[in-house]
């Protein structure tokens, strides 16, 4: 299991030998460790505040990539030291902040295509696989304008109708508001965006190199982007 939370990434290795499920290894990379201080996000987030952008809380997706890679190295060290085989890992379950969005560029599908001497962080930075270098997170409260626009949309017309169709009234931290604010504030970067993932799917992307790594249906619900009855994406 892989959990990418606000302050850390946690790995849990579970053995299911003969049906006896048990934790055999646990590892955590905390973002307040010295090796992550260069990201300037020791609490797991960066506050970006200016006159037109109040209460925007973001994180650095490259920090998540670095912590994931460090965790994978620690996992390999544990497996090698105990005479185990990495190929015996049958499944990996990623989980992370549902209300954090990562913006991949049109080059993202070329990421991690074959072995490289560079770290995952260096490859993503040099290859410019991110359309935006930051990811708004669940603490973000900067989407008032986008929220009012969403409620007034012809599809909804009221917060009550938004609640009925999507399962929740407007919440600042939901991806619909985050994405709309990114589109409004940075149209050029938005135009260069090929894929938008929540943080859980981003972890899946890092593990597979597949920019089309799918959202879990449950993660799509708290987004204002899907009809909870039909389970279809809303078109506008």
Nearest CA to 178 among 145, 212, 152, 200? 145
pLDDT recorded at residue 44: 84
Q: How confident is the model at residue 164 (pLDDT cuts 50, 70, 90)?
A: very high
Residue 85 pLDDT more than 70?
Answer: yes
> Could you give the 3-state DSSP secondary structure of residue 4?
strand
Q: Kindly tell me if the per-residue pLDDT of 221 is higher than 90.
A: no
What's residue 127's pLDDT? Answer: 62
pLDDT computed for residue 39 by the predictor: 86
Q: Which residue has the tokens 């909804």?
A: 156
CB neighbourhood size of 30 (10 A): 15
Residues 122-132 have a mean pLDDT of: 80
Q: pLDDT value at position 53?
A: 63
DSSP letter at 34 equals G
Mean pLDDT of 120-126: 78
Does residue 82 have a pLDDT over 80? yes
Burial tier of 62 (Cβ tally within 10 Å: 0-12, 13-18, 19+) = buried
Within 13 Å, how many C-alpha atoms sit on residue 215's CB side?
Answer: 24
Query: pTM to 2 decimals?
Result: 0.89
Q: Are 102 and 130 in contact (CB under 8 A)?
A: yes
Mean pLDDT over all residues of the chain?
A: 87
Write down the pLDDT at residue 128.
74
198: which strand partners? 101
pLDDT at 188: 94
CA pair distance 116, 106, nearest whole angstrom? 20
172-194 mean pLDDT = 93
**What does the pLDDT read at residue 102?**
94
Share above pLDDT 70 across residues of the chain, in percent, rounded to a whole number: 94
> Using 50, 70 and 90 to split pLDDT, how confident is the model at 132?
very high
CA atoms lying within 13 Å on the CB side of residue 71: 26
End-to-end CA distance of the chain: 35
Task: Report the percent of the chain where pLDDT is more than 90.
Answer: 48
């Amino acid at each position: 299991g892989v959990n990418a939370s606000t302050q850390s990434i946690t790995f849990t290795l579970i053995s299911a030998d003969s049906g006896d499920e048990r934790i055999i290894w646990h590892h955590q990379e905390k973002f307040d460790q010295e090796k992550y201080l260069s990201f300037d996000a020791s609490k797991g987030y960066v506050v970006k505040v200016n006159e037109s952008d109040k209460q925007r809380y973001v994180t650095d997706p490259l920090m998540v990539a670095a912590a994931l890679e460090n965790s994978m190295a620690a996992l390999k060290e544990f497996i090698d030291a105990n005479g185990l085989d990495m190929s015996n890992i049958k499944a990996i379950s990623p989980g992370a902040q549902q209300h954090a969005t990562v913006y991949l560029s049109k080059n993202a599908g070329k990421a991690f295509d074959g072995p490289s001497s560079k770290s995952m962080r260096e490859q993503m930075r040099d290859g410019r696989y991110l359309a935006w270098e930051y990811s708004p997170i669940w603490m973000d409260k900067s989407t008032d304008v986008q929220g009012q626009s969403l409620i007034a949309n012809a599809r909804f017309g009221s917060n009550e109708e938004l609640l009925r169709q999507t399962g929740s009234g407007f919440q600042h931290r939901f991806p619909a508001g985050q994405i709309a604010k990114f589109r409004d504030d940075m149209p050029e970067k938005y135009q260069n965006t090929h894929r938008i993932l929540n943080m859980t799917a981003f972890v899946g992307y890092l593990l597979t190199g597949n920019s089309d790594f799918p959202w879990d249906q449950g993660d799509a619900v708290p987004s204002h982007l899907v009809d909870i009855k039909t389970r279809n994406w809303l078109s506008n």
